[in-house]
């Protein structure tokens, strides 16, 4: 493909052009599994998790992340432990989102080092209830005590990787990982 540019590109731009057809094929595969953009919202990592666990992505930004062949729904979380030590949840956590979190069949937590998958852990909502859901619900209620309109939501509470590794069920491991102290 001939391109027009008034800028002087970096020499690696030609290498990127060579690799791009593989990226487009990766995106086509992701699209077949309900992921609209592999470069947003951990789309590429979610695709890998979906395929390993034999789940189908749910294309909606509202609701749960995936469904198994029996119709059970799941929440999927990914983390790059080279950048952070906890899983993000939701930027507007409130009772509606908590109800959704409590209804899923299970949560899958995929742990990455950069772009390389290391482990996947499974936890049920019941296993997350006392440590996370109940305290988050209590916090939300206290934040909104006395408010009749314009409720405030909790901004992205976290689930620590260490907690997941200590309490979750390991369902997939690429290689041996030494837990962080």
Catalytic residue among 45, 75, 119, 137: 75
Catalytic residue among 18, 41, 65, 113: 65
Strand partners, 119: 111, 173
65 is catalytic: yes
41 is catalytic: no
75 is catalytic: yes
CA 15 to chain centre: 30
Determine whether 57 is exposed, middle or buried from the number of CB atoms within 10 Å of its CB (0-12, 13-18, 19+): buried
- Torsion angle of C-alpha atoms 84, 78, 87, 36, degrees rounded to 10: 110
Catalytic residue among 2, 18, 68, 77: 77
Give the CA radius of gyration of the chain. 19
Catalytically active residues, by annotation: 65, 75, 77
């Amino acid at each position: 493909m001939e391109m027009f540019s008034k800028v002087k590109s970096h020499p690696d731009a030609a290498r990127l052009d060579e690799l791009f057809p593989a990226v487009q094929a990766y995106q086509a595969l992701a699209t077949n599994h309900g992921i609209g953009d592999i470069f947003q919202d951990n789309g590429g990592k979610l695709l890998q998790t979906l395929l390993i666990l034999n789940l189908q992505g749910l294309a909606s930004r509202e609701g749960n992340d995936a469904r198994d062949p029996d119709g059970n729904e799941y929440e999927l979380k990914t983390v790059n432990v080279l950048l952070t030590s906890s899983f993000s949840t939701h930027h507007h956590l409130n009772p509606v989102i908590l109800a959704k979190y409590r209804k899923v069949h299970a949560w899958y937590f995929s742990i990455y080092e950069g772009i390389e998958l290391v482990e996947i852990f499974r936890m049920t909502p019941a296993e997350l209830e006392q440590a996370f859901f109940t305290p988050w619900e209590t916090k939300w209620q206290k934040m909104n005590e006395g408010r009749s309109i314009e409720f405030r939501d909790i901004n992205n509470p976290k689930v620590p990787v260490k907690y997941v590794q200590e309490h979750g069920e390991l369902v997939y491991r690429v290689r041996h990982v030494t837990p962080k102290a």
